[in-house]
Amino acid sequence: MSYAPEQAAPAAAISWRARLQRRFREWVNRRIPPARSVTLDQKRIFIFPSRVGFFFLLCLTVMLLTAINYENNMSYGLTFLLTTLFIIAILHTYANLSGLSIHAVQARPAFPGQQTEFDLRLERGGSRPRFDLRLGWPDSTEQRVSLVESGSDTLRFYCPVGERGWYHPGRLLIESTYPLGLLRCWTWVDLDLRAVVYPRPLASPDLPGHAAADAGGSAIPVAGSDDFDGFRDYRTGDSLRHVHWKGLARGHSLQSKLYAAYAESDCWLDWDAFAGLPVEQRLSHLCYWALEFERRQEDYGLRLPGVRIEPGRGDAHREQVLSALALYGLGGGA
C-alpha cells in the first residue's frame, strides 16, 4: 500500500509489475503535482474500505444471514442501519481529510547516516475538528495528530538520509480512518521538500598545498602568531575581527589590519589539492577540513571547478561551503 517513488526496479527485471508501478507513479504525479503547499480536494483524496471495513462487511453478511434465516425484521433493520452507516461513513471519512492544507516548512541538511528533519505545517482550513490523521514518508517517522482545539499544528519528521546530494523523501502519505475505522482515506502529496546531504567527512593527514604552521603535523595556521603588518582597504571576505574599528570611528574609511601570518593563513580548501583521488573522496576530505577549520575558528575558502567561496567562517559560511560540496556535480544549485 505504501507508495515509494524512490524504489527503482532493477533494470534487468523490468516486469509488467514494475511497469505498472511506474505507470501508476506517473499517473499520481500528473494528478497530484509537487507543490510546497497543498490543500486536499477530491482530486487528491483516495478512499477505500480498510481491512477493518472488510471485516465489518463480513460481520454484516453474518447478520444478514441471521435475519434471513430467522425471518426477523428487526435484525434486517439493524443490519441495514449498519450498512447505511458504512455508506454515511464514506462522507465523514472523506470530509476529515478534505480541505486540510499541508505546507512544507523546512528540511534540515544532514550528513550521510544521520537523520534529517522535515518540518510541516498542517492547517485544518475551517472550524471542523480533524481527528486521527496519520502522516509520514515511506522512510520517516510517523506522526499521529488531531486538530481539535487549535486550527493548525507544526509537525517534525525524522528521516534517515542516503548519500551525498539531494535527499528526496518521496511522497508524504496522509491517511485517516476516522470516524469508524471502516474506511481508509488517504493521499500522497509531494511537498517538493528535499534535504541536502553533505559529503561524508573523511579525515586526511594534512591539507596538501597548505603550509604547515607547526611541526605537530597539523597544517593549520596558528591564529595567535600575528605580527601587525599595516593596513589596507577592506575587502569583502576580510574578517570583521581584523577591521580597524577605531579608525572607522575616527572617520577614516573601512580598513583591515594586516598581520604577517595572516597572508599565509588565508586558507583555501582547494579541489586541486587532492588531485588524483576519486571525486567522492576528494569531496569527503574537503568536507572534513571545512569542519576542522570551523572547529578551530579559522577562516577558510573553497575552490571547486566553477565554484569559489571567499574565506570566512560561521554557521552560514559553513553551510554554504558544505552545500557547495554536497551538490558538486549535481547541477541545479541550492
Partner 1 sequence: MKEIEQVPRSALIWILLGMAALLAPHAGRLPVWVLAVYGACAFWRLQIFRGRWRYPGRLVKFGLIGLACTGIWFSYGSLLGLEPTVALLLTAYAMKLLELARRQDAYVLLFLGYFICITEFLFTQDLLIVLYSLITVWLVTTALVALHQGQQRFGTTSLRQAGVMLAQAFPLMLVLFFLFPRIGPLWTVPVKSHAARTGVSDFMRPGDISNLSKSDEVAFRVSFEGDIPARSSLYWRGLVMSRLQEGAWSSLGYYEVPPAERRAPEVATAGDAIDYSVLMMPTQQRWLYSLRYAESSQGGVMEAPDFRLFRPVEIEEQYRYEVRSWPATTLQPALSEWRRETELRLPEGDNPRTVALARSLREAAASDEAFVDTVLARFTNEPYVYTLQPPLLGENPTDGFLFDTRRGFCEHYAAAFVTLMRAGGVPARVVAGYQGGEVNPVNRTVIVHQFDAHAWAEVWLEGEGWRRVDPTAAVSPLRVEQGLEQALAGEGSFLADSPLSPLRYRGINWINSMRLQYDALTYRWQSWVVGFNSENQFSILQEYLGELNGRKFVTILLGSWVLVLVPVGFWLLRRRSPAALDAISREYLAFCQRLARLGVERAPGEPPGAFAERAVVALPQSASAVREVTALYERARYAGGDSTPADTLRSMRRAARGVGRQNRLG
Residues in contact with partner 1 by the rule CB under 8 A: 52, 55-56, 59, 62-63, 65-85, 87-89, 91-92, 94-95, 98-99, 125-128, 131-132, 136, 141-142, 144, 146, 148-154, 177-181
Grid cell listed for 71: 425471518
Q: How far is the CB of 233 from partner 1 (least distance, A)?
A: 38
Of 85 and 307, the one with the shorter C-beta distance to partner 1 is 85
Which region, left, alpha or beta, applies to residue 181 given φ > 0 means left and ψ of -120 to 50 means alpha? left
Of 74 and 215, the one with the shorter C-beta distance to partner 1 is 74
Q: Which of 159, 164, 186, 163 has the alpha carbon at shortest distance from 173?
A: 186
Of 149 and 227, the one with the shorter C-beta distance to partner 1 is 149
Instruction: Give CA–CA dist 113/121, Å, rounded.
Output: 26
Half-sphere exposure of 230 (CA within 13 A, CB side): 3
Of 162 and 329, the one with the shorter C-beta distance to partner 1 is 162
Q: Which of 210, 320, 326 has the alpha carbon at shortest distance from 279?
A: 326
Q: How far is the CB of 317 from partner 1 (least distance, A)?
A: 29
Q: How far is the CB of 187 from partner 1 (least distance, A)?
A: 15
Q: How far is the CB of 135 from partner 1 (least distance, A)?
A: 12
Q: How far is the CB of 73 from partner 1 (least distance, A)?
A: 5
Grid cell listed for 61: 453478511
Whether 190 contacts 29, CB under 8 Å = yes
Of 84 and 297, the one with the shorter C-beta distance to partner 1 is 84
Of 110 and 321, the one with the shorter C-beta distance to partner 1 is 110
Q: How far is the CB of 125 from partner 1 (least distance, A)?
A: 6
Q: Considering just the CA atoms, what is the radius of gyration of the chain in Å? A: 30
Per the document, the length of the chain is 334
Indicate the residue type of 178. Answer: Y
Q: Which of 263, 271, 261 has the alpha carbon at shortest distance from 321?
A: 271
